[in-house]
Amino acid sequence: MRPASIQIRIMGIRDYASTLQQMQSFTESRNADTSDEIWILEHPPVYTQGLNGKPEHILNAGQIPVIKTDRGGQATYHGPGQLIIYPLLDIKRHNIGIRRLVSTLENATIDTLSQYGIKAHSKKEAPGVYTDGGKIASVGLRIKRGCSYHGMSLNVNMDLKPFDGINICGFANLKATQVVDLDGPANSQEIALPLVRHLLDALEYQWDNCEKS
């Protein structure tokens, strides 16, 4: 069987609220013939709170906006220098379970980090990717009409101080770390394509094309 094709979009820095609306609209309007896509981007500073997120996990937002969103999980922070990967996939069509998708996102990140000599691992009880120094990547998804949106964020080269304003993913005292502090690349785009390649290989997709949008 020929691997499924997928479109990769490199989108630069995009506002969180408008990107969320775009993901929702794409998912609502797609049909059985719509090609899957992966969006690669960054967001300006924003805290996001998951669908069942508890407000007490926002400790001190300061001047950073807080947006209630429709993914799973609790509070997290997005900002420049953090790599965002949004897989917009028809998981029903390709028989990809939600647990498999979460694990694949985690493992693709772990495999990519290992290329730069960074040891990382996942935790069964807490989605995401961790190093000995703290959490380096978060995973949060929404499945609607058999299709996924939202995705994962990888801290590459960013200001980590805003993470102190929340209980990261609902865990008190959990610290954030990032690639550049572990002697990895400072450029998120250098990491993006190897990570996406690991992800697509694991999900048996064929890289169709890649474009800036």
Look at the chain and report how many structural domains it folds into: 1
Backbone angles phi, psi at 184, to 5 degrees: -95, -175
The conformation of residue 152, written as its DSSP 8-state character, comes to E
The answer to which of 1-5, 11-15, 159-163 has the lowest mean pLDDT is: 1-5
Is 147 marked active-site? no
% of the chain at pLDDT higher than 70: 96
Catalytic residue among 83, 91, 168, 169: 169
Q: pLDDT at position 107, please?
A: 98
Per residue in 102-114, pLDDT tens?
999 999 999 999 9
Residue with more model confidence, 183 or 4:
183
Write out the residue range of the structural domain in which residue 94 sits: 4-212
3-state SS, residue 127: strand
**Helix intervals (H) in 145-204:** 188-203
Per residue in 123-170, pLDDT tens?
988 899 999 999 999 999 999 999 999 999 999 999 999 999 999 988
Q: Residues 122, 128: contact at Cβ < 8 Å?
A: yes
25: domain CATH number is 3.30.930.10
Q: Which tokens sit at 147?
A: 């299709």
Q: pLDDT at position 1, please?
A: 43
Q: pLDDT at position 208, please?
A: 61
Residues composing the chain: 213
3 pLDDT more than 80: no
Query: Across residues 74-80, what is the average pLDDT?
Result: 96
Query: Across residues 24-40, what is the average pLDDT?
Result: 95
**Helix intervals (H) in 85-183:** 98-114
Per residue in 45-64, pLDDT tens?
999 998 888 889 999 999 99
The DSSP bridge partners found for residue 90 are 147
